[in-house]
């Protein structure tokens, strides 16, 4: 039904909770366009009580927005290589996604979006934070915007997914492959969103190694400033998970961070990642 989906923003810079739609049912064109509009406007959208979202239905929903990614370093679910099971067992110390990042920025064509579904949530904690990189860019001075305009940065999975990298070690409960020889890809530091035309910062602490044409040491001061600036509270929202909730975020313009504050409890999520374009 057209106009049937209610949209409730949860913070100033980004994030909105949507209600009035069952994502396990095929979306009508009108529903798709309302959800797409909310996604582009709010950068991350949330749905609660999606208890019928089987793996096939989660994939079908995500596929309305693009083709699905198969992660090169983390094994997918048996029978569903495009779905990642993100599980933290009660005894696990580290968690997947426990640092600010944008999914798959280490690929030549990074992710458009990710659809994360909660199967089991701890009684407290385990929230996910999001940060609008469009708002972070817009808050910079004109001088800094001009400086960044011509810069590119090098992204790679090497640091996170090498044998000693955080993302490989955090995976006792997931099958992770290591990435000692992961390739490097260059992306603009400021990218223009292909659908909205809005500019946003496109570097992140997990996968951005340095600026193109500079050493890591030379890059560090400005990258450190951008990483600090980009997670300022003004640009963030926080989602409190409930069982069968869904978050759908736009990796082209926001970062996310899975909090690790629920020792002794299990958290089980399932993610579909949608392929995107080469950033420009």
CB of 116 to ligand SIN, least distance (A): 6
Instruction: Specify the residue, 60 or 119, whose C-beta has the smaller distance to ligand SIN.
Output: 119
Query: Within a 10 A sphere around the Cβ of 93, how many other Cβ atoms?
Result: 10
Q: Is residue 103 annotated as a catalytic residue, yes or no?
A: yes
CA angle centred on 140, ends 280 and 153, rounded to 5°: 35
Q: Which helix (H) or strand (E) holds 269?
A: strand 267-275
- In total, the chain counts a number of residues equal to 280
Judged by CB under 6 A, the number of residues near ligand SIN is 10
Of 128, 126, 55, 127, the closest CA to residue 89 belongs to 126
User: Is there binding between residue 276 and ligand SIN (CB under 6 A)?
Assistant: no
Q: Name the minimum Å distance from CB 58 to ligand SIN.
A: 14
- The residue whose Cβ lies closest to ligand SIN is 97
Please, what is the minimum distance in Å from the beta carbon of residue 50 to ligand SIN?
16
Contacts of 264 (CB under 8 A, 6+ apart): 90
Closest CA to 174 of 114, 254, 87, 89: 87
- Closest approach of Cβ 258 to ligand SIN, in Å? 3
- Measured CA to CA, the distance from residue 195 to residue 192 in angstroms comes to 9
Query: Which is catalytic among the residues 42, 71, 92, 101?
Result: 101
CB of 214 to ligand SIN, least distance (A): 28
- 269 lines the binding site for ligand SIN (CB under 6 A): yes
What is the residue-wise DSSP string for 3-23?
Answer: T--EEEE-SSSS-EEEES--T
Task: Return the residue of 50, 69, 105, 128 that touches ligand SIN, per CB under 6 A.
Answer: 128
Kind and range of the H or E run holding 63: helix 55-63
Tell me: does residue 86 bind ligand SIN (CB under 6 A).
yes
Cβ 13 to ligand SIN, closest distance in Å?
18
Q: Which of 96, 117, 161, 255 binds ligand SIN (CB under 6 A)?
A: 96
The catalytic residue among 42, 92, 103, 187 is 103
Active site residue 256: yes
Is residue 258 part of the contact set for ligand SIN (CB under 6 A)?
A: yes
Please tell me the distance from the alpha carbon of residue 130 to that of residue 3, in angstroms, as a whole number: 27
The residues that bridge with 188 in the sheet, in sequence order, are 152
Rule CB under 6 A: say whether 100 interacts with ligand SIN: no
Q: Count CB-CB contacts under 10 A for residue 92.
A: 18
Q: Is 97 in the site for ligand SIN (CB under 6 A)?
A: yes
Backbone conformation region of residue 46, classed left if phi is above 0, alpha if psi is from -120 to 50, else beta: beta
| Residue 92 among the catalytic residues | no
Q: Which is nearer to ligand SIN, 116 or 135 (CB)?
A: 116
237 sits near ligand SIN (criterion: CB under 6 A) = no
Residues with active-site annotation: 101, 103, 256, 271
List of residues contacting ligand SIN (CB under 6 A): 86, 96-97, 114, 116, 128, 256, 258, 269, 271
């Amino acid at each position: 039904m057209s106009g049937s989906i209610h949209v409730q923003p949860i913070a100033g810079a980004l994030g909105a909770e949507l209600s009035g739609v069952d994502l396990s049912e095929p979306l009508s064109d009108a529903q798709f366009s309302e959800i797409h509009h909310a996604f582009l406007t709010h950068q991350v959208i949330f749905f609660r009580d999606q208890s019928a979202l089987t793996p096939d239905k989660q994939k079908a929903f995500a596929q309305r927005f693009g083709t699905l990614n198969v992660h090169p370093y983390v094994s997918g679910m048996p029978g569903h290589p495009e779905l990642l099971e993100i599980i933290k067992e009660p005894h696990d110390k580290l968690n997947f996604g426990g640092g600010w990042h944008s999914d798959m920025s280490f690929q030549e064509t990074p992710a458009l979006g990710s659809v994360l579904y909660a199967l089991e949530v701890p009684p407290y904690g385990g929230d996910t934070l999001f940060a609008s990189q469009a708002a972070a860019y817009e808050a910079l001075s004109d001088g800094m915007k001009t400086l960044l305009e011509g810069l590119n940065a090098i992204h790679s999975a090497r640091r996170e997914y090498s044998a000693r990298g955080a993302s490989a070690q955090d995976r006792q409960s997931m099958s992770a492959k290591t990435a000692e020889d992961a390739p490097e890809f260059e992306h603009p530091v400021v990218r223009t969103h292909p659908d909205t035309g809005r500019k946003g910062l496109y570097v992140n602490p997990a996968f951005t190694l340095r600026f193109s044409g500079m050493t890591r040491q030379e890059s560090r001061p400005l990258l450190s400033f951008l990483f600090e600036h980009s997670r300022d509270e003004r640009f963030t929202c926080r989602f409190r998970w409930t069982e069968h909730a869904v978050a759908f975020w736009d990796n082209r313009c926001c970062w996310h961070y899975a909090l690790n504050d629920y020792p002794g409890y299990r958290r089980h999520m399932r993610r579909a990642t949608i392929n995107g374009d080469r950033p420009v």
